[in-house]
Structure 1
Amino acid sequence: MSGLSPEQDARARDSEALTLKQLLSVGQKTVADAIGVSESTVSRWKEGEIERWCRVLALLGLRIVPSDVQCHPPQYIQALKTLAELGLQAEKKRPGPLGWD
């Protein structure tokens, strides 16, 4: 038994995939040099350590996201959706040209 809910498990897999993708992009040597460990240590992390920590983060309710992503509370997103819906409804009710414009 994994101990994680299906949603947490999916989030952990997504976080692991993102982490591995970024690690590939940046390079193991760059990461190793930046934190003062050997490149082989970073390489060994890919054998389960990254997965384990992604599962811990998912269990704690935390997410890994790229630094250029903006995260907002669900209430804020819902408010934006409501305002957009009201704007679209008002646009549909808008009269056509009056003829003297």
Structure 2
Amino acid sequence: MTNAIARNSELPKLKPIEMEGLILNQLADLGQKPTAEACGLDESTISRWKGKGGHLEQFCRFLDALGLQLAPPGAVLVRRDYLFAMETLAEMGMKAERMRPDPLGWD
């Protein structure tokens, strides 16, 4: 048995329908009118984009085709090699701690 952390080399990837849902949820939170105003658009334009087969659905497929992903607000993005380095350091620290002959002072 090994204590190694299993690393998935596949990046998690949102499907276009999931990206669309993320956008629609954020739009619902922010409000259609303020969003339209911030973009210099009419609110009806945003409504048309949201409709079935509208520009939003196409845009999400466009992002997917380019290999781009959305990140929800509050997400923290780090490079994959940085994450692997942190996992390795944590694994080494835990291994050293398990090998410690005496308990820690706070036990």
Q: Which residues of structure 2 form unaligned runs of 5+? A: 1-11
Name the % identity: 43
Q: How many residues align?
A: 90
More helix by share: 1
SS at match of 1:86: helix
- The two structures have a TM-score, normalised by structure 1, of 0.78
Tell me, in whole angstroms, the C-alpha distance in 2 between the residues paired with 1:79 and 1:11. 28
Tell me, in whole angstroms, the C-alpha distance in 2 between the residues paired with 1:46 and 1:83. 45
2:23 counterpart (19, 25, 33): 19
| Aligned twin of 1:38 | 42
RMSD: 1.8
| Aligned twin of 2:92 | 86
Q: Which residues of structure 1 form unaligned runs of 5+? A: 1-6
Give 4+ residue runs of structure 1 displaced > 4 Å after superposition: none
- The two structures have a TM-score, normalised by structure 2, of 0.74
Output one character per residue of 1:39-76: Cα deviation in whole Å (capped at 9) or x when no partner: 11101111121111111111111111134322112111
